Amino acid sequence: MNSFSLTPKRWISTTGAIGIIAKTGRYGGTFAHKDIAFEFASWVSVEFKLYLIKEFQRLKDEELKQLGWDIKRNLVKINYRIHTDAIRNNLIPPELSKSQINFVYASEADVLNVALFGKTAKQWRDENPDQKGNIRDYANISQLVCLSNLENINALFINEGVTQKERLKKLNSIAIHQMKLLIADHGIEKLGGSK
């Protein structure tokens, strides 16, 4: 009915509400927990509700960029330890210099890059001079999952003494198979958010 009115004080006394306070007097007013205030403002103003939704979406997108993508990249970085240990223990003789050791690591990283992306890190940089980072920074979630798997498999191959040429052929075959499966599985996209 149009004659019905519900004041904040009446609402508080009738429902025993918490999170909202109504005070009278010179410094009085109605004060509410921010969640209640947002809900009330959303009910009163469609523009405010739209602003609130858009702002929430923007913040979630920013969070995903900062947190979600880092988590995916960190998965690969953590797994890479298994890969580098296999390289250190099986492919690096003690008499190599630091630059030679770095070359061995880079060469093995490129085995994975070529197996998955079809190009070395240098080839990608030459093709993308304006991009910051490396080829793996621009990988999607399916590629990162596959790369993580390839690191483990390559570490196993290294420990078994498989030659680099043979490992590259096997890893490329595995990458093609896994990427077909991962691309077909739309559920994996949910792990990656909007990226």
Alpha-carbon distance 60 to 135, whole Å?
A: 25
pLDDT tier for residue 11 given thresholds of 50, 70 and 90: confident
- Choose among 97, 94, 121, 102: nearest CA to 110: 121
Q: How many residues does the chain have?
A: 195
pLDDT tier for residue 195 given thresholds of 50, 70 and 90: very low
- The per-residue pLDDT for range 137-186, each reduced to its tens digit, is 888 888 888 988 899 999 999 999 999 999 999 999 999 999 998 888 66
- Domain residue ranges of the chain, discontinuous segments joined by +: 8-44, 64-192
Predicted model pTM: 0.58
Q: In the predicted model, what is the mean pLDDT of the chain?
A: 84
How many C-beta atoms surround the C-beta of residue 143 within 10 A?
21
Helix intervals (H) in 1-134? 8-15, 34-44, 46-63, 69-90, 98-117, 121-127
